[in-house]
Structure 1
């Protein structure tokens, strides 16, 4: 059983590393209509060998708004049929292929070097080879069970109580996270003559019920939209299992002429096909039921600190995970830009409410930054090529810079705004115009930086560096003009001098953090000098000096 579970994981991770983006596209195509969604679920589950993996992927897409709940439930009906078809294929005695697949996979892995596609294909081949080997060993290991009086007594008790057999199989499946493994175990026990067909069919029903539980638990901390998909799938499983349980003796009589293993997997396929026929036309009312059970909180849209694009299942496919991390970094940038805009209002008005709003926004920035940083750290531990490693490092650096900008706005600029209100100070009109101009340039530079993050455009990178230089010059000019007004004895400039100079300095610091996104891009193409110092002529050395 352990070898079978490990083999299933090898195949699943290998498929995600080899073509995870394609699998997600298959599932994405299911948004067109329920039949397409059903077929996408079948294909994706056959590919990844796990309905739980398909459930988590589908729940993530539904939670991010890429798929409606009815279409996601149709995908799950297809996923359950897909995993039953995998069981039917494995019921064919192909264990003789195992050595060849293991040898081929091992050789491909050894010769693959740093080629991720070959190594992923090697994982798939080794995983399939181990699956076939595990099923052969499972069949052989169950034969001696017939000689155990204790096991015989336990299984006889299960045979007399099909509902209890269903519960036991559901618990076992939830524990091992694989309905396929439980179904194949039931088939092996039936093939060895340890249990009868009725007990085996009851175990199959329990395996289908238990297979829906891991996805419910895995998404328990997600948003309501993401949790509706596994909940709807669980409701389908519970309803189907309870409806089918009284029909177990009838089904067993139909399966009596088949080989035990074939009968078990055929019952598995028939059960899931029947559920698909029954519930595929009902996905819309089922979706409404899940929406009623898990309503969207009224303030859910306001919680900008909750990550929307950090899909844990996408970590197996770095390119997909990096794309999600880029989108989440853009969200972080939008939050910081909103803080920056609010900061000008807080500096202008004699009202502490904008200051409190900026402080709350900084808390959201901190939480989102932490989630993004941890996600990128997990992604960095994966097998990445040089370009992906560079991209992850650049995203991490930019996210850190955005968090620093939030701290400057909250801890420095807002403290200055609060100080001005406490002491009833008023900026000189000329001073505040200088601040507004520098603030406007800072917002523009932040927008440019977010644009660079998307496309890594060298032209925009050069423009951002030029904008940083312009801000530096503007800060120097604004400081000089302010000091000139102080020298002339302007009362308003004198009493707010420390505030004005600190604000100008903080805006310049923010621009420095913003411009940092352009540095790796220009450095990569050799357009960045190592020092801003001018090269000056060295004195000529005479021989005696040497």
Structure 2
């Protein structure tokens, strides 16, 4: 059960309750069925074989996808960010990335992050979403290969690599091979379990009903929405076709329904998310539904074209020929359908984007929530730890922007501001605390996943960096703001020369905080070394400021003792802020950190 739960922290895979429900329903039918039926077919054994095979199939797909994401997740993110320069390149990139990470939902979530960060427009993302549909057909093509005889060999090889391999990458490749073996073995078990249905008239009558494309589309859409995997639905259809239970037009209609049903994943993922996420989900739904509507009247023509380009076995007849030809034909039809739709709609990416923006307009400013929320953290990405950790970096930048704003405003408020300005800065720290709590909670979810040693080290460093950033906010709120209030309450006046000294010191510390945030958010080694190398500069400025304060102490000025105390406290708190900034930088540049220590 622990393996099943690693997909998204504490949540079970969405298909598991469906699988258990179907298994219980089948068992109940076996017990309550009439004698004539049970004499012909052993429903209990068939149900156990069918749904046990389905469990192996789904678990194998999940394990294979997790291993692929662990091996290639970082590179896929970089490829997606760099190669979406135009709509054609975007579609090709979306197809490639989705085929590798085996999840169009993850691709869509990555796009939302790029849009939110201003790295990509919604119109640019439309082409990638269209290409992602092509990439999602890769699994169906893989399943259509009849290599079930090699399934146990693949499971054995994968198991050996997982438990004997010393390098993490070898173990991940082993998990991928073992997962693929489980997919094919589950297919074999389901296929064998379905064999009695080839002569069972009530079931054949139901499948004849599926030849009505609207019924087939509706059933497949509902089933896909429940298990949240179009690849799994298409795989099951291919397994049924391998027993001659599904003809090509029916298989195409079911594949169309799977394309619509997979929109449920994107729609659910967009609930409660920023406008960019909702619009990306709307584009996904519009494209998939429009594609099905265009082709629903041409299923027979598509079937004829697919028969022409697919392998044929004229020496066979009846169900044997269907079983030999239809699985590959369904996979090809699924791919052809998505390729044709992408080519058809690729010229209308701008129109899709504008329609999505019209359907999901920006909220008026007065309707925006006053409570700050994380912009980049998304539970969908928890299936890919490397991508989830990358989102934590982006959210750290979001949190860092709040802290930097506090830093920029605090010195003018201390030196010459009023109580309202100080209260505004104090309220900003509440936002920082909320973002800190959300980031730590998300890191906690990531920590419960299966992580590599590198990912574990990165998680620990990010947690330390976020804590240091929160410490900077606390120093501003609990120390510097208090000093500002004391300056106002006690009527302390800070001279112009002292203001210049404190402002220059504040500028240097503020620059260190800015570079530290940049270092963590972008994993920027140069920025990290810049912060660490500023130690001597900070000490020199602090010593110069201290000397200036000593001169002020002997001057004949009113309240000079209290003024001196406040000014020295300001210098000490700025030095402490630099200390936290330096520790943040050390989480990025471990080599410099060890040398500094």
TM-score normalised by structure 1 residue count: 0.82
Partner of 1:281: 347
* Matching of residue 406 in structure 1 with residue 473 in structure 2: yes
Q: 1:19 aligns with which of 40, 47, 72?
A: 72
* Matching of residue 200 in structure 1 with residue 270 in structure 2: no
* Matching of residue 226 in structure 1 with residue 277 in structure 2: yes
Partner of 1:364: 431
Q: 1:124 aligns with which of 161, 176, 200?
A: 176
Q: 1:34 aligns with which of 69, 87, 111?
A: 87
Residues 516 and 481 (structure 1), Cα distance of their counterparts in 2 relative to 1, 3 Å cut: farther
After superposition, residues 322-361 of structure 1 pair within 5 angstroms as 322=389, 324-361=391-428
1:123-170: CA deviations, max 9, x gaps?
1111111111122222222233456677566555x4376434322211
Residues 53 and 144 (structure 1), Cα distance of their counterparts in 2 relative to 1, 3 Å cut: farther
Partner of 1:51: 104
Q: Which secondary structure does the structure 2 equivalent of 1:31 belong to?
A: coil
Structure 2 Cα separation of the partners of residues 526 and 25 of structure 1: 30
Residues 345 and 208 (structure 1), Cα distance of their counterparts in 2 relative to 1, 3 Å cut: same
After superposition, residues 7-406 of structure 1 pair within 5 angstroms as 7-113=60-166, 115-145=167-197, 155=207, 158-159=209-210, 162-194=213-245, 197-248=248-299, 259-297=325-363, 306-307=373-374, 310=377, 322=389, 324-381=391-448, 389-406=456-473
**What is the CA-CA distance between 1:118 and the residue it aligns to?**
0.9
Structure 2 Cα separation of the partners of residues 522 and 7 of structure 1: 38
Partner of 2:27: none
Q: Which secondary structure does the structure 1 equivalent of 2:290 belong to?
A: helix
Structure 1 Cα separation of the partners of residues 109 and 515 of structure 2: 35
Structure 1 Cα separation of the partners of residues 545 and 431 of structure 2: 30
- Which runs of no fewer than 5 residues in structure 2 stay unpaired? 1-53, 308-320
Mapped contact 1:27–1:41 kept (Cα < 8 A)? yes
373-382 or 212-221: bigger deviation: 373-382
**What is the CA-CA distance between 1:179 and the residue it aligns to?**
0.9
Structure 2 Cα separation of the partners of residues 172 and 203 of structure 1: 10
Residues 406 and 276 (structure 1), Cα distance of their counterparts in 2 relative to 1, 3 Å cut: same
Structure 2 Cα separation of the partners of residues 108 and 251 of structure 1: 43
Mapped contact 2:493–2:563 kept (Cα < 8 A)? yes
Mapped contact 2:259–2:288 kept (Cα < 8 A)? yes
**What is the CA-CA distance between 1:515 and the residue it aligns to?**
3.6
Query: Cα RMSD between the aligned structures?
Result: 3.7
Residues 61 and 120 (structure 1), Cα distance of their counterparts in 2 relative to 1, 3 Å cut: farther
Residues 381 and 465 (structure 1), Cα distance of their counterparts in 2 relative to 1, 3 Å cut: farther
Mapped contact 1:307–1:328 kept (Cα < 8 A)? yes
1:154-195: CA deviations, max 9, x gaps?
555x43764343222112112212112112222333444545
Structure 1 Cα separation of the partners of residues 569 and 443 of structure 2: 34
1:344-366: CA deviations, max 9, x gaps?
12123353442243134323322
Mapped contact 2:529–2:592 kept (Cα < 8 A)? no
- Which runs of no fewer than 5 residues in structure 1 stay unpaired? 530-546
Partner of 1:537: none
Mapped contact 1:38–1:77 kept (Cα < 8 A)? yes
Structure 2 Cα separation of the partners of residues 153 and 192 of structure 1: 16
Structure 1 Cα separation of the partners of residues 532 and 244 of structure 2: 75
**What is the CA-CA distance between 1:122 and the residue it aligns to?**
0.9
Partner of 1:463: 533
Q: Which secondary structure does the structure 1 equivalent of 2:336 belong to?
A: helix
Q: Which secondary structure does the structure 2 equivalent of 1:93 belong to?
A: coil
Partner of 2:10: none
Structure 1 Cα separation of the partners of residues 242 and 582 of structure 2: 68
Mapped contact 1:30–1:71 kept (Cα < 8 A)? no
Structure 2 Cα separation of the partners of residues 262 and 495 of structure 1: 85
* Matching of residue 510 in structure 1 with residue 577 in structure 2: yes
Q: Which secondary structure does the structure 2 equivalent of 1:491 belong to?
A: coil
Structure 2 Cα separation of the partners of residues 321 and 142 of structure 1: 40
Residues 142 and 254 (structure 1), Cα distance of their counterparts in 2 relative to 1, 3 Å cut: farther
Structure 2 Cα separation of the partners of residues 363 and 496 of structure 1: 29
TM-score normalised by structure 2 residue count: 0.76
Give the number of aligned pairs. Answer: 524
